[in-house]
Amino acid sequence: MSKSASIVLVHGFWGGAAHWGKVITELARRGYTSLHAVEMPLTSLADDAERVRKMVRQQEGPVILVGHSYGGAVLSEAGDLPNVAALVFVAAFAPDAGESPGAITQQDPPAAAANLAPDSDGYLWIKADKFHESFCQDLTADEALVMAVTQKAPLATTFGDAVTAPAWRSKPSWYQVSSQDHMIAPTNQQRMSARLNARKVITLDASHASLASHPSEICDLIEEAAATV
């Protein structure tokens, strides 16, 4: 079943589906053929969760949902569909009922909080000249430049959207903590991973962009989730 399960990858704020590029190629090398990376609008939790639900409903067999960053909040909201077999959180938010990513962030503000800037249209950006140090300090300068220029900014109001009934309360979950994360405080990640009673928690010496800097370890975690459901 592990190789036949569909893997649906859910990106976070300040990036699109292409952030999963290295994970996608590694999973393909390992024999996974049903790979899907959702492109979300980042306009509201409801909009983003519905986009993920539509993708999940298109899959015939069991689905492993994998979320990075804000994508973990989307997993929590949209992961209750019957064909979702497991949830994998990658340096991600895992809000409880009534809790928002913004509320979690305020409990322990991350190192790069001052590097966020809203624009006149209500979108929230990472300052381009601060992107490397904020989001992906363990990637090359060239990789960081591409991420900074192509960043997908969310509507700032999305930070305040609360999860209704978190799927991690009923679905088996796995979690990866980034110990050098400047976007979601590692202490918040540790607290969330403990709260969701994950089947396994791994900690990587990684930035927020662990999906790009440590794709092999992320794929190992996804494979473990796929093999045990």
> pLDDT tens for residues 100-143?
999 999 999 999 999 999 999 999 999 999 999 999 999 999 99
For the segment 6-43, what is each residue's pLDDT rounded down to a tens digit?
999 999 999 999 999 999 999 999 999 999 999 999 99
pLDDT of residue 3: 83
Confidence tier at 2 by pLDDT (50, 70, 90): low
Is residue 148 over pLDDT 80? yes
As a whole-number percent, the residues of the chain with pLDDT over 70 amount to 99
DSSP 3-state of 87:
strand
CA atoms of 42 and 19, how far apart (whole Å): 15
Instruction: Read off the pLDDT band of 229 (50, 70, 90).
Output: confident
pLDDT tier for residue 214 given thresholds of 50, 70 and 90: very high
Tokens at residue 78, please? 């949209």
Taking only the tens place, the pLDDT of each residue in 156-182 is: 999 999 999 999 999 999 999 999 999
Beta bridge partners, 176, equal 90, 202
**Has residue 153 got a pLDDT over 70?**
yes
Residue 88 has pLDDT above 60, yes or no: yes
Residue-level pLDDT at 1: 43
CB under 8 Å to 117, separation ≥6 — which residues?
124, 125, 126, 127
Instruction: Report how far apart the first and last C-alpha atoms of the chain are (Å, whole number).
Output: 8
Q: Quickly list H helices, 79-202.
A: 101-107, 131-135, 141-149, 186-195
> pLDDT for 194-210, tens place per residue?
999 999 999 999 999 99
pTM comes to: 0.97
Tell me what pLDDT residue 117 has.
Answer: 97
Q: Is the pLDDT of residue 48 over 90?
A: yes
SS3 of 117, please?
A: strand
